[in-house]
Structure 1
């Protein structure tokens, strides 16, 4: 999962695998759910169909959750996700009653209208489920407003909205600015130098300081031909060419 969502490669490049292993160890120690004020059960999804942990992370309220229909099943397979279950109002109500809880606060589904208060219990007159989502503009697609709930000292719940902000600019493939700019500097510097060198021909360079162009001499022409054939194999021949075309002084 961490590899698929780029956390592992990002940690590996920017930090170290030691830090990654420490973070995973910390994540493994996080609780699956939490009980707040002995009344609110906070979890990712919902109470499981069976077992203490089964489907806690992936269950969803049924489409007819708010409908008054006692004939609907408590749980049915979630054919949308292809895993876990849909649960009904009655399954949730009974779970709260058995465990002396007021409501379940969950964050498994994006909420277009920031937070959703589901059907209220006839016993407590409080929504049996509150769904919220704490990631604004999820996947840069949903344009949703994120929400957190605050429980104050007087046991009153308040909704806190979080707006989305533009992402900081990030270079592709985890490059830093120096790596990204280096190739452009090399490219344009090379082309600049080549443009300067190509402004004058060997004849013009020789004439500039009063010397005659030597490239028409047979021995020099033979050396040039060897260079074009990539047959320059010793230091003395290379120095001769440098002196002709780059006007290197004799040493």
Structure 2
């Protein structure tokens, strides 16, 4: 998200508060045991379990800064950056000289794109540990991002004056295809125009499996044609599934191309008889994001009425700069293509309604009561995501076991309870909400009295979470969800986040 905080320098490290009354040694021992169990779960990458363990330790001994900082670290692993900031702040309140508290808060702020706040935290930590090598590295990276942000702000022009990269793109400069290029070619010619075929798509996927790229001429052609197609769609797309047909919804893929291919091995390739909806977060984190997005877009062009894509929170400029997609596109193609993808992502629909009964969107429900499907249809989505409102909530919100609306553990959007889900679905004549946006141990979870499903399709997320992936299939005659889970498959030795901001390597 955008960072509009004031520029800040280093701050003074406050004095420690008065020590709390001593605890019973037995209580202290129980808290330490809970912490050690949580540490073991953290090392085993069971981050949800580790949060539960640190929470038990905090409940027993709330005045131990280490417990709060450790829980912040686990929340960062689960991308609960808002919760991580709150935990890290508590850690520094308890012990102002405990530098890991500032580290953790700086990490969470950086992950949210709040570089100036991250820099403030890191500078504060540096007053305590000026020689720490990891801290020095993070400080340098954060300072670089703040300078870049200032530079972009200085060059910024009003939105209405921004020129379309896709409209001014001259594809003729890519028309000459070198003799050395042995990859797939689209049907047609520069003079006649290019069209996508099933043969090209299959050859392209084979090329990607061999860790090769397609020619820039065809890559740009796919983006441009897909952008034209998506621009013609409303922000909420209605989809009809005939009684004798089925329909598959997949969640986040996050650049895990070989797991995407496994979905198609298990459930069949997209076709007129086998329609799909991929529910956002196609890119970032995984290091095969280009391959994923080109495969999805190619099938969209091949089967425009039977392949559907929802925008996720990672189809945005701020996320792509940090989590790898920008760097990957520049490494495999060029910087112009980064700007073209930004325009494409701004054209993606925000939601789909299946047979008038099931709403599918990436994040969740809304900050205010009374939002209707017509309100979703009317959203002006052709922009970067705002920090509040219907579009922000559709991309960022999460369900909660608590009633009503509460602060988001992510630091963006909100959390909403089963009463909010029930009220929205009933008011809009819907049976079910399907969303993605969160890692789930089994690849999916059913919540809110069976009326909300989370589906996540990136197994062993970032090669470290150990989760399964899943997809959900509906039959048109009854619209009852049927789940398939699957495990991760091997991929070439390119680590997740290989193209991400180097700051994140230490998180």
TM-score relative to the length of structure 1: 0.57
Separation in structure 1 between the aligned mates of residue 481 and residue 431 of structure 2, nearest angstrom: 13
- Of residues 150, 160, 177 in structure 1, which corresponds to 2:484? 160
**Are 1:90 and 2:419 an aligned pair?**
yes
1:42-121 paired onto structure 2 within 5 Å: 42-50=360-368, 51-64=389-402, 72=403, 74-78=404-408, 80-120=409-449
Deviation at 1:28, TM superposition (A): 1.2
- Name stretches of at least 5 consecutive residues in structure 2 with no aligned partner: 1-318, 369-388, 500-507
**Are 1:39 and 2:357 an aligned pair?**
yes
Deviation at 1:17, TM superposition (A): 2.3
Separation in structure 2 between the aligned mates of residue 131 and residue 158 of structure 1, nearest angstrom: 13
**Are 1:151 and 2:481 an aligned pair?**
no
Separation in structure 2 between the aligned mates of residue 48 and residue 6 of structure 1, nearest angstrom: 29
Structure 1 equivalent of residue 157 of structure 2: none
Q: Could you report, residue by residue, the CA deviation over 1:135-162 in whole angstroms, capped at 9, with x for unpaired residues?
A: 1111212111111111234334321223
Separation in structure 1 between the aligned mates of residue 342 and residue 489 of structure 2, nearest angstrom: 28
What secondary structure does 2:320 align onto?
Answer: coil
Q: Which is further off, 94-103 or 7-16?
A: 7-16
- Of residues 444, 453, 456 in structure 2, which corresponds to 1:133? 456
Separation in structure 1 between the aligned mates of residue 400 and residue 351 of structure 2, nearest angstrom: 21
Structure of larger gyration radius: 1
Task: Check conservation: 2:442, 2:485, Cα contact below 8 A.
Answer: no
More helix, by proportion:
2
Cα separation, partners in 2 of 1:105 and 1:20, compared to 1, 3 Å: same
Cα separation, partners in 2 of 1:40 and 1:115, compared to 1, 3 Å: same
**Are 1:18 and 2:333 an aligned pair?**
no
Cα separation, partners in 2 of 1:163 and 1:128, compared to 1, 3 Å: same
Deviation at 1:173, TM superposition (A): 7.6
**Are 1:169 and 2:493 an aligned pair?**
yes
Separation in structure 2 between the aligned mates of residue 145 and residue 173 of structure 1, nearest angstrom: 22
Cα separation, partners in 2 of 1:163 and 1:30, compared to 1, 3 Å: same
Cα separation, partners in 2 of 1:170 and 1:59, compared to 1, 3 Å: closer
Aligned Cα root-mean-square deviation (Å): 2.3
Number of aligned residue pairs: give it. Answer: 159
Separation in structure 2 between the aligned mates of residue 49 and residue 63 of structure 1, nearest angstrom: 16
Task: Check conservation: 2:444, 2:470, Cα contact below 8 A.
Answer: yes
Separation in structure 1 between the aligned mates of residue 411 and residue 498 of structure 2, nearest angstrom: 33
Deviation at 1:35, TM superposition (A): 1.0
Cα separation, partners in 2 of 1:89 and 1:18, compared to 1, 3 Å: same
What secondary structure does 2:453 align onto?
Answer: strand
By relative contact order (CA 8 Å, sep 6+), the higher-ranking structure is 2
Spell out structure 1 runs of 4+ moving beyond 6 A: 171-174
Q: Which is further off, 2-11 or 96-105?
A: 2-11
- Name stretches of at least 5 consecutive residues in structure 1 with no aligned partner: 65-71, 121-126, 175-251
Cα separation, partners in 2 of 1:159 and 1:173, compared to 1, 3 Å: closer
